[in-house]
Amino acid sequence: MTTDHRDPVPPSAPEGPQAERTPGWWKSAVVYQVYPRSFADSNADGIGDIPGITSKVDYLAALGVEVVWLSPVYRSPQDDNGYDISDYEDIDPTFGSLADLDALIAALHARGMKLVMDLVVNHTSDEHPWFVESRDPASPKRDWYWWRKPRQGFQAGAAGAEPTNWASFFSGSAWQLDEQSGEYYLHLFSRKQPDLNWENPEVRQAVYAMMNRWVDRGVDGFRMDVINFISKQPGLDDVPAVPGRPFAAAGERFANGPRLEEFLQEMNTAVRLDERHLLTVGEMPASTIDLARSITDPAKRGLNMVFTFEHMNVDAQPGGTKWDIAPLHLPALKQNLAAWQEGLAEVGWNSLYWDNHDQPRAVSRFGDDSPEHRVNSAKTLATVQHLHKGTPYVYQGEELGMTNTQFVDISSYLDIESVNHYSDAMSLGLEAETVLSSLAVRSRDNARTPVQWDDTSHAGFTQGIPWLPVNPNYVYLNAVAAQADPDSTFHHFRRLIALRRELPVVVDGRFELLLPDHEQLWVLTRTRGDQVLLVVANCSSLPVTVPAGVLPDVTGARLLLTTHAGAETAELQPWESRIHLIG
């Protein structure tokens, strides 16, 4: 078997890289996601890097987060900003070196913090040596990827010759013809991201060996990219065609395949994920509550938690794509999260997120980013998120209430998904204006503008020219201003994170949603023994009066955290929220 034999731990690796990890530590932790390209640039090339992250570790410690999840920093042609990996065991020079990563790990561990790496093993880059070798039909690596002949009766390269009618997530077919052999390979994402064939045991062993080397190096866990796509449905069959379109979304054929749990258990054993108390979170588009419960059932030795996508779809048209935007209906959002809370109440564990590098900014999407309501809506969304039961994830800049971008024409967009979607939509004859307005709402670039550190040029992100323009609101919306203002979103997040450490009821209290059909109020309780946390949040830009006599009595209760002073009234201001502790 030919695997990569390089040992990533040099003899000079720092002493004692391991952090102390107690069983279940990840249940009381808050995770902070760093998207390295946009976090902090140390060398003025306009791209964030690992030394930049290390320079901000004290900022993260002041916020109180315990874990950093690092989006990919591995060697990569950067077709999908690092989610296309050509060497799992080295750092891309854009981001620094292995020594820089060791220094980051050491800086985090020295502050009692931990590092979780992104694990992108559903696919590699087409420039990964495994795939380069696999292009040769006679190579032992041929079977490491999904190679298929053209559809029967079709010439390779002809329209309709693709082995199935599956669409790629990034527009066009999920199959790419390789001229050399006249066969197609599967790529659910870009054509530079060929899918690995997990049915082949050599692939799996190579991945586990690589993971073990990272754990030995000192990392504390893994966020697993589209991990529920590693087991495809047998047969790789067509999906029903979409009228007028050559390719169709085919999640039902490649997600949640029959061997998913077997592969995850095998990984857990091979990498000793549970024994070493590593944090594991699986990104699982199209996961159901039942599947998540099974995967996060400790007895089944799968993962600690998964990222659901259901609440990311409540503001899309049913049956449409992410670009078909629908108005947000608050009861649908609340009830969806409550269903996950209920489904994983006895067995399993939830992850909690509003934001990440693939989603628009939460305050612009679920809140109100107008000057009047931005701060309070960012705070109130955070209160609601952190007071559900599960592990909260904060995406860089979310703690500042960062907002969506304001790009006016297509040339500003850089994300492959946005760029491809635009040209695909144009070729189908859609109105440019319509497409641009859905990009403004949904493009992943919204989350990828540089973090706004201060009010100097380019928000203090870089001394050079940033790879993606900084949001002009950095002049007042930045970390320095937020840290100086005791009423800022930053300090609200910091208090929420501290509450979790102080009160076990925040970690493991039983969850209940009250007033599920209310269109403005989000009300929930968390109960532990005779202690009850009551969260009352106005998730709207209009005042609202709490209906009389339906909520638990708060006489004598402690008010733990609020957005507004004088919180004893029955009327809540726009985006006002309160956390009461009863008993």
CA-to-CA distance for 96 and 314, rounded, in angstroms?
A: 39
State in angstroms the smallest separation of the CB of 231 from ligand TEU: 16
Beta-strand ranges (E) seen in 187-248 are 221-224
Of the candidate residues 41, 84, 102, 368, the single one contacting Ca ion (CB under 5 A): 41
Closest Cα partner for 19 from 252, 359, 279? 279
Q: Mask: binding to Ca ion, 46-85, rule CB under 5 A, as x and -?
A: -x-x------------------------------------
**151 versus 448: smaller Cβ distance to ligand TEU:** 448
State in angstroms the smallest separation of the CB of 461 from Ca ion: 10
Does 87 contact Ca ion by CB under 5 A?
A: no
For residue 358, the partner it binds in Ca ion, ligand TEU, none, with Cβ less than 5 to 8 A by kind, is: ligand TEU
Lookup result for tokens 């002049």: 475
Does 274 contact Ca ion by CB under 5 A?
A: no
State in angstroms the smallest separation of the CB of 560 from ligand TEU: 34
Maximal CA-CA distance, the chain: 77
Q: What is the DSSP string of 473-511?
A: GGGTSSHHHHHH-TTSHHHHHHHHHHHHHH-HHHHHPEE
**43 versus 434: smaller Cβ distance to ligand TEU:** 434
Beta-strand ranges (E) seen in 234-381 are 279-283, 305-307, 351-352
State in angstroms the smallest separation of the CB of 45 from Ca ion: 4
Of the candidate residues 2, 3, 7, 43, the single one contacting Ca ion (CB under 5 A): 43
For residue 155, the partner it binds in ligand TEU, Ca ion, none, with Cβ less than 5 to 8 A by kind, is: none
> Which residues inside 184-223 make contact with ligand TEU, applying CB under 6 A?
189
Q: In what order do the strands lie in the sheet with 183-186?
A: 147-148, 183-186, 175-178
State in angstroms the smallest separation of the CB of 91 from Ca ion: 12
CA-to-CA distance for 76 and 322, rounded, in angstroms?
A: 27
**45 versus 202: smaller Cβ distance to Ca ion:** 45
For residue 225, the partner it binds in ligand TEU, Ca ion, none, with Cβ less than 5 to 8 A by kind, is: ligand TEU
CA-to-CA distance for 526 and 529, rounded, in angstroms?
A: 10
H runs (alpha helix) in 255-329: 260-271, 289-295
Does 120 contact ligand TEU by CB under 6 A?
A: yes
Does 322 contact ligand TEU by CB under 6 A?
A: yes
User: Binding segment for Ca ion among 33-41, 243-251, 347-355, 495-503 (CB under 5 A)?
Assistant: 33-41
Q: What residues are paired with 72 via a beta bridge?
A: none
Catalytic hit among 41, 283, 310, 576: 283
Does 118 contact Ca ion by CB under 5 A?
A: no
Torsion sign over Cα 369, 537, 316, 356: positive
Binding-residue total with Ca ion (CB under 5 A): 5
State in angstroms the smallest separation of the CB of 46 from Ca ion: 7
Q: Would you give the end-to-end CA distance of the chain in angstroms? A: 62
- Yes or no: say if 307 and 284 are a contact pair by the CB < 8 Å rule: yes
CA-to-CA distance for 185 and 198, rounded, in angstroms?
A: 14
State in angstroms the smallest separation of the CB of 322 from ligand TEU: 5
Q: Mask: binding to ligand TEU, 366-395, rule CB under 6 A, as x and -?
A: ------------------------------
How many CB atoms lie under 10 A from the CB of residue 143?
Answer: 14
Does 83 contact ligand TEU by CB under 6 A?
A: yes
For residue 49, the partner it binds in Ca ion, ligand TEU, none, with Cβ less than 5 to 8 A by kind, is: Ca ion
Of the candidate residues 66, 100, 310, 417, the single one contacting ligand TEU (CB under 6 A): 417
Of the candidate residues 41, 49, 79, 80, the single one contacting ligand TEU (CB under 6 A): 80
For residue 223, the partner it binds in ligand TEU, Ca ion, none, with Cβ less than 5 to 8 A by kind, is: none
Q: Treating both helix axes as pointing N-terminal to C-terminal, what angle do 260-271 and 201-217 enclose, rounded to 10 degrees?
A: 40
Lookup result for tokens 């060929």: 194
**18 versus 55: smaller Cβ distance to Ca ion:** 55
Of the candidate residues 100, 162, 195, 225, the single one contacting ligand TEU (CB under 6 A): 225
Q: Mask: binding to ligand TEU, 441-460, rule CB under 6 A, as x and -?
A: ---x----------------
Structure-block tokens of residue 92: 């891309």
Does 415 contact ligand TEU by CB under 6 A?
A: no
Q: What contacts 402, CB < 8 A, 6 or more positions away?
A: 361, 363, 449, 451, 452, 471, 477
For residue 162, the partner it binds in ligand TEU, Ca ion, none, with Cβ less than 5 to 8 A by kind, is: none
Identify whether 283 is a catalytic site residue: yes
Identify whether 290 is a catalytic site residue: no
Catalytic hit among 100, 126, 225, 445: 225
For residue 120, the partner it binds in Ca ion, ligand TEU, none, with Cβ less than 5 to 8 A by kind, is: ligand TEU
Q: What contacts 327, CB < 8 A, 6 or more positions away?
A: 315
Classify residue 325 by its DSSP letter: B
Structure-block tokens of residue 29: 């932790």
As separate numbers, helices (DSSP H) first and strands (DSSP E) second, the chain gives 16, 20
Backbone angles phi, psi at 210, to 5 degrees: -65, -45
Q: What residues are paired with 558 via a beta bridge?
A: 581
Binding-residue total with ligand TEU (CB under 6 A): 14
**17 versus 251: smaller Cβ distance to ligand TEU:** 251
Q: What residues are paired with 572 via a beta bridge?
A: 544
CA-to-CA distance for 116 and 281, rounded, in angstroms?
A: 10
Q: What contacts 20, CB < 8 A, 6 or more positions away?
A: none
State in angstroms the smallest separation of the CB of 443 from Ca ion: 23
Question: By CB neighbour count within 10 A (0-12 exposed, 13-18 middle, 19+ buried), where does 155 fall?
Answer: exposed
- Yes or no: say if 576 and 566 are a contact pair by the CB < 8 Å rule: no
State in angstroms the smallest separation of the CB of 84 from ligand TEU: 7
Which residues here bind ligand TEU, judged by CB under 6 A?
80, 83, 120, 169, 189, 225-226, 283, 285, 322, 357-358, 417, 444
Residues of this chain that bind Ca ion (CB under 5 A): 41, 43, 45, 47, 49
Catalytically active residues are: 225, 283
